[in-house]
Chain A
Amino acid sequence: MFVINCPYCGEREQSEFKAGGEAHIVRPKQPTELSDDQWAEYLFMRKNIKGIQFERWVHTHGCRKWFNMVRDTSNDEIKAIYKMGEKPPVK
């Protein structure tokens, strides 16, 4: 079970959080102008990486804020945590 450093609250047990899938998938501004394929790409297609993955997490049983996490899925090492809207760290 991880210890997650919520950018608003500090270190808390993983059981207080929920994972919300891949990060940095922006909802299209004009969905009605997309083809079926383009919309399906947004709606369904997700990477499932063994290794460094960018993910969304939310502090459900805490401040209820969403934030981003860079996690190595092969060993669960959390490489970085940053707020929504912030740029992902490079490397």
Chain B
Amino acid sequence: MTNNLRVKSSKFIDETYKISFRFNNKTYYGYKGDTLASALLANGIHLVGRSFKYHRPRGIMTAGSEEPNAIVQLHKNTSRTEPNVRATEIEIYEGLEASSQNCWPSVNFDIGGINNFLSPVLPAGFYYKTFMWPASFWMKYEYFIRKSAGLGKSPTEPDPDMYEHKYIHCDVLVIGAGISGVIAAKTSAKNGFKTLLLDEKPYLGGSTIYQNSEYFKINNQISSSWLEKEINEIKKIDNLEIKTRTSVAAFHGYNFLLARESLTDHLPLHQRYEKIRHRLLKIRAKKVICATGSLERPLIFDNNDRPGILLSSAIEKYSNLFGVSCGQKNVLFTNNDSAYETAISLFQRGIGIEAIIDNREEVDSKLIKEIEKNNIKIYKGYTIVDTFGYRKINKISIMQLSKDGQKVVGSKISINCDCLGMSGGWTPAVHLFTQSGGKLKFRDDDQVFIPDKYPSNQISIGSCNGEFTLDEILTGISKKLKDFLNIKKTDYENLEIQSHFNKTKRNIWLLPSDKIIGKTKPFVDYQNDATAKDIKLALREGFRSIEHVKRYTTTGMGTDQGKLGNMHALGIISETAGSRMGELGTTTFRPPYTPLTFGTIVGRNVGEYFDVFRKTPIHDWHFENKAKFENVGQWKRAWFYPKENEGMHEAVQRESKAARDSAGILDASTLGKIDIQGTDASEFLNRVYTNAWSKLAIGKCRYGLMLNEDGMVYDDGVTTRLDENHYIMTTTTGGAATVLSKLEDYLQTEWPELDVYLTSVTDHYATISVCGPNSKKIISKVIPDIDLSDEKFPHMSFKKTKIDKVKCRVMRISFTGEQSYEINVQANYGKSVWEKCMQAGKEFNITPYGTETMHLLRAEKGFIIVGQDTDGTMTPIDLQMDWIVSKKKYDFIGKRSLYRSDTIREDRKQLIGLVTENPKEVLEEGAQIVADVSKSPVEMLGHVTSSYYSPNLKKSIALGVVKGGKNMMGQKLIIPMENKQINVTVTDPVFLDKENKRLNA
């Protein structure tokens, strides 16, 4: 079939520009301007997929982003593949490849269709109930269900496209470029406001732009012609930015909105290279005007889901905008006047109309008269009770409605047709309004929710505000805009409007049938296959809250968030439960309004830009010397330096041994450094550390432990007194930022009277630590003019000096237990000083070591690492570090918590050392520690926090925390592993050099 369903050329379609595309492995043609849906319909294709649960054949239903059925997978099995794309939105381009989703093995023969006949066993809550069945039953069906019920396939290759984010600030944001939006944008921009106008479609003008009827006129011009002139004008206004193909995804508080601007999705693949695919706009608007329009409602009757059943407005759009007729023998089914607009459009284009079924009994309007004049049969007071045709509708049967609309009466009439348009009236698109926190009110007259309370500086205008007809929209718009924008005049004060629309409507949420409900399939949510029957079942099973019914029946939980059927679900609940609609509330619409790809959300933060990483000034040296790196927070730290074929274990053993036998060198630049100055600096340290600081002499260093107010260890590090009122504090690498924040918090909020100034200088200094028995010799070569003797420069002291002309601070402090010097120089000299140390240390086999060796060396000495041996539940007492807690100080952060009833418990987890029975066996960090495995359940006493093979002690060592561990020295415990039990003995956590001899060796 080739385009024989194009009825009349449309100015929106370029018939000189033919485009070939593939759908389900067959080639078709369409024209520039077509969506995939319009091109398929032009080729006579309605059936595009299968429904989620029952695998019923489904066709294109709408012509917009609310489409529940026609969702396709693009470019299957390629890196550009994308699931859940609405055929009604995607514009065709040369080479487009689309395939039906959710049907296996093919759209025409679908194995899952059998679910349709099994539907009595697939009621509401099927999936919930399935999980309660015996597990074996679920296992059996999982494969079948997964294979036949997936919603598309996610790509398996990296996304080849580029995305970006952009911030936009504007005075007025107008969402939606229909007639209301265009008027609002023009008025705003012409009054000097920086205005942004967005629309999800590729063209401006909404549904008015393809309105071609003599019955709707503005200032005596057909409404579309009038609007076209307006659009041409707004394109020329300087301070108005217009973005089409831009869908607002989220409307947050304080007028912050996210929108996706689609830039290349309509281009052939070969034209997309080097271009941005989507741009995520982060918009902050002083004022927002929602002109998001409305969505036509379907009608709920038995078998209302066959291919060939569309919304009446969609049929009109396909005919007027795309020049495509959806069928030759159309039937329209309505409860309001909208379908008559469609009928007139079709009639004007010579498309056949078999009949119009109208729920209303006595109704008249100019539109209806026009139809009757042309001998089109109107069945007033009738409803459809059933439809027929498997792959496409071919017949309907109708019956008369009883006076109260609750029953059908009389005899059935059959009407042949090949297309059915339905109109249940309109639902304002209030999704964005409610996302922003807006509250709705229910309007009983036509059963719609409309905006009531605005949470920010915004208004809704046009049909999203419940103004559905041309005269309703245009009569009030001028005053609304004047009030909202605070301006005196608009161009739209005295419009002359002709609108022949009868506003009566006969709203019946669930239309009656001659069958009992159990025997019918009136679909409410097409995408998730939820029927009115399911909703009634949920109510019978006791669900009352709309949110519960939604989850139980999955109504509104598809990728379309139930844009079509949510109102009907509410209506059916209220009718069944006997509650008033307005009192039920609605379900919550959550962002995004239409799905966003991950690429759009992530933007440029991909690959190496996913997160920032920090490099030390010596990083390049580590890299050139083949270091393996470890992520510590955002830092890249040298982990170990493998030589030739060494693995991590070999490298770490070699590095650890060299550091104790001769000399090791570590890049410690990542340690947090906080410069503390002020006359109250000592007092401040007294309050934030557990130990005393007042008596620390100038030029001396001290180790400090910092607690939270709850008494738990928070951070540790060495602080040096540089001068009377000047200290430099070091923190752990990971704790640097939070420690500074915490200190600032106390200073500003609890102790503002203290004269103390804090400055983070972490990045300003490179820190090079040289340790080992030969460290003194090496440092004396690097800095010949200081006296390194133990008398003049003892452990825990500091000297200011120079290396060549570069000022530096040298601390004699140790995290390894070896004699050790830490050189701090201005960051940009870091690498050259490091190289100097390497040069000087060459004769001593100075060995660079990374974080892994550092961890091993400190574990040999029993030094803790905050965050590895502690987890926010360890007090200093638990760590056997009572010596650092001052008894004399009146107060410090966390002091009072150290003798709460919980913290003084004897059986708290306490830090201990562990040695294995087999000295070669290395424990796994995180392994559980138990005493007795014979009793069930086995009592878990604690866990291993650090574990290594020590090359210096020639045995396995570990640190761990164990309940009451302090009093268990020498006791044997068990580490239960998957296939074995490891016997261990509790020891002191200090394994090496308890007497600290090596510090001064």
Interface residues of B in 253-280 (CB under 8 A from A): 253-254, 256
The 9 closest A-B pairs by CB, nearest first: A31-B896, A1-B256, A66-B748, A27-B750, A76-B253, A3-B254, A39-B896, A2-B254, A66-B749
Q: Mark B869-897, 1 if CB is under 8 A from A, else 0.
A: 00000000000000000000011000111
B744: chain A residues at CB < 8 Å are 58, 64, 66
Count: A-B pairs, CB below 8 Å = 53
The CA of A86 and the CA of B901, in the complex, are separated in Å by 36
B710: chain A residues at CB < 8 Å are 43
Contact among B253, B745, B891, B901 with A36 in the assembled complex (CB-CB below 8 Å): B901
The CA of A84 and the CA of B586, in the complex, are separated in Å by 42
Given contacts A2-B254, A3-B254, A20-B745, contact A36 B900 (CB under 8 A): yes
Contact among A1, A20, A40, A75 with B900 in the assembled complex (CB-CB below 8 Å): A40
Interface residues of A in 21-50 (CB under 8 A from B): 26-27, 30-32, 34, 36, 39-40, 43
The CA of A58 and the CA of B737, in the complex, are separated in Å by 14
Contact assessment for B897 and A66 in the assembled complex, using a CB-CB cutoff below 8 Å: no
The CA of A31 and the CA of B891, in the complex, are separated in Å by 7
B709: chain A residues at CB < 8 Å are 27, 43
Give B325 Cβ to nearest chain A Cβ, in Å: 47
Question: Which chain B residue shows the least CB distance to A27?
Answer: B750
The contact sample of 17 A-B pairs, CB cut-off 8 A, is A1-B252, A2-B253, A2-B254, A20-B745, A31-B895, A31-B896, A34-B896, A39-B897, A40-B900, A56-B749, A64-B744, A65-B748, A66-B745, A75-B253, A75-B455, A76-B437, A84-B748
Question: Which chain B residue shows the least CB distance to A14?
Answer: B254
Q: Does B926 contact A (CB under 8 A)?
A: no
A34: chain B residues at CB < 8 Å are 896
Give B708 Cβ to nearest chain A Cβ, in Å: 10
Q: Does A10 contact B (CB under 8 A)?
A: no
B752: chain A residues at CB < 8 Å are 84-85
Q: Does B741 contact A (CB under 8 A)?
A: yes
B896: chain A residues at CB < 8 Å are 31-32, 34, 39
A39: chain B residues at CB < 8 Å are 896-897, 900
A64: chain B residues at CB < 8 Å are 744
Question: Which chain A residue shows the least CB distance to B748?
Answer: A66
Q: Does B284 contact A (CB under 8 A)?
A: yes
The CA of A20 and the CA of B455, in the complex, are separated in Å by 25
B254: chain A residues at CB < 8 Å are 1-3, 76
The CA of A2 and the CA of B254, in the complex, are separated in Å by 6
Given contacts A31-B895, A32-B895, A39-B897, contact A3 B284 (CB under 8 A): yes
Contact assessment for A32 and B253 in the assembled complex, using a CB-CB cutoff below 8 Å: no
The CA of A1 and the CA of B256, in the complex, are separated in Å by 6
The CA of A66 and the CA of B744, in the complex, are separated in Å by 9
Contact among A3, A32, A40, A75 with B891 in the assembled complex (CB-CB below 8 Å): A32
The CA of A1 and the CA of B257, in the complex, are separated in Å by 9
Q: How many residues of B contact A (CB 8 A)?
A: 23
The CA of A1 and the CA of B284, in the complex, are separated in Å by 10
The CA of A40 and the CA of B903, in the complex, are separated in Å by 12
The CA of A51 and the CA of B235, in the complex, are separated in Å by 45
B891: chain A residues at CB < 8 Å are 30-32
B284: chain A residues at CB < 8 Å are 3, 13
The CA of A31 and the CA of B889, in the complex, are separated in Å by 12
Contact assessment for A84 and B901 in the assembled complex, using a CB-CB cutoff below 8 Å: no
The CA of A18 and the CA of B744, in the complex, are separated in Å by 13
B895: chain A residues at CB < 8 Å are 31-32
Q: Mark A51-91, 1 if CB is under 8 A from B, else 0.
A: 00000101010001110000000011000000011000000
Question: Which chain B residue shows the least CB distance to A26?
Answer: B750
A36: chain B residues at CB < 8 Å are 900-901
The CA of A85 and the CA of B752, in the complex, are separated in Å by 9
B455: chain A residues at CB < 8 Å are 75
Given contacts A32-B891, A39-B900, A43-B709, contact A58 B253 (CB under 8 A): no
Give A56 Cβ to nearest chain B Cβ, in Å: 7
Give B604 Cβ to nearest chain A Cβ, in Å: 17
Contact assessment for B437 and A75 in the assembled complex, using a CB-CB cutoff below 8 Å: yes
Given contacts A1-B254, A2-B253, A32-B890, contact A60 B741 (CB under 8 A): yes
The CA of A3 and the CA of B284, in the complex, are separated in Å by 9
Question: Which chain A residue shows the least CB distance to B252?
Answer: A1
The CA of A84 and the CA of B749, in the complex, are separated in Å by 7
A58: chain B residues at CB < 8 Å are 741, 744-745
Contact among B253, B256, B897 with A43 in the assembled complex (CB-CB below 8 Å): B897
Give A41 Cβ to nearest chain B Cβ, in Å: 12
Q: Mark B426-437, 1 if CB is under 8 A from A, else 0.
A: 000000000001
B252: chain A residues at CB < 8 Å are 1
Contact assessment for B253 and A1 in the assembled complex, using a CB-CB cutoff below 8 Å: yes
The CA of A65 and the CA of B895, in the complex, are separated in Å by 26
Give A37 Cβ to nearest chain B Cβ, in Å: 10
The CA of A40 and the CA of B743, in the complex, are separated in Å by 22
The CA of A30 and the CA of B709, in the complex, are separated in Å by 14
B745: chain A residues at CB < 8 Å are 20, 58, 66
The CA of A76 and the CA of B896, in the complex, are separated in Å by 36
A20: chain B residues at CB < 8 Å are 745
The CA of A18 and the CA of B745, in the complex, are separated in Å by 12
A30: chain B residues at CB < 8 Å are 891
Known pairs A66-B749, A76-B254 / 14 extra A-B pairs, C-beta < 8 Å: A1-B256, A39-B896, A39-B897, A40-B900, A56-B749, A58-B744, A58-B745, A60-B741, A64-B744, A65-B748, A75-B455, A76-B437, A84-B748, A84-B752
Give B435 Cβ to nearest chain A Cβ, in Å: 13
The CA of A36 and the CA of B905, in the complex, are separated in Å by 14
The CA of A13 and the CA of B284, in the complex, are separated in Å by 10
Give B427 Cβ to nearest chain A Cβ, in Å: 25
A40: chain B residues at CB < 8 Å are 900
Give A45 Cβ to nearest chain B Cβ, in Å: 13
The CA of A64 and the CA of B744, in the complex, are separated in Å by 8
The CA of A66 and the CA of B437, in the complex, are separated in Å by 28
Question: Which chain B residue shows the least CB distance to A40?
Answer: B900
Give A69 Cβ to nearest chain B Cβ, in Å: 14
Q: Mark B743-779, 1 if CB is under 8 A from A, else 0.
A: 0110011101000000000000000000000000000
A60: chain B residues at CB < 8 Å are 741
The CA of A75 and the CA of B896, in the complex, are separated in Å by 38
Residue picked from B253, B896, B901, most chain A C-beta under 10 Å: B896
Give B843 Cβ to nearest chain A Cβ, in Å: 48
Q: Mark B460-500, 1 if CB is under 8 A from A, else 0.
A: 00000000000000000000000000000000000000000
The CA of A75 and the CA of B284, in the complex, are separated in Å by 18
The CA of A56 and the CA of B746, in the complex, are separated in Å by 13
The CA of A56 and the CA of B741, in the complex, are separated in Å by 13
A65: chain B residues at CB < 8 Å are 748
Give B453 Cβ to nearest chain A Cβ, in Å: 10
Question: Which chain B residue shows the least CB distance to A44?
Answer: B710
Give B62 Cβ to nearest chain A Cβ, in Å: 32
Give A34 Cβ to nearest chain B Cβ, in Å: 7
A31: chain B residues at CB < 8 Å are 891, 895-896
Question: Which chain B residue shows the least CB distance to A4?
Answer: B254
The CA of A33 and the CA of B437, in the complex, are separated in Å by 47
A2: chain B residues at CB < 8 Å are 253-254
The CA of A60 and the CA of B748, in the complex, are separated in Å by 13
Give B457 Cβ to nearest chain A Cβ, in Å: 12
B890: chain A residues at CB < 8 Å are 32
The CA of A30 and the CA of B710, in the complex, are separated in Å by 15
Give A26 Cβ to nearest chain B Cβ, in Å: 8
The CA of A43 and the CA of B709, in the complex, are separated in Å by 7
The CA of A50 and the CA of B394, in the complex, are separated in Å by 57
A26: chain B residues at CB < 8 Å are 750
Give A36 Cβ to nearest chain B Cβ, in Å: 6
Q: Mark A1-15, 1 if CB is under 8 A from B, else 0.
A: 111000000000100
Q: Mark B791-826, 1 if CB is under 8 A from A, else 0.
A: 000000000000000000000000000000000000
Give A14 Cβ to nearest chain B Cβ, in Å: 8
Residue picked from B455, B710, B749, B750, most chain A C-beta under 10 Å: B749
The CA of A56 and the CA of B901, in the complex, are separated in Å by 30
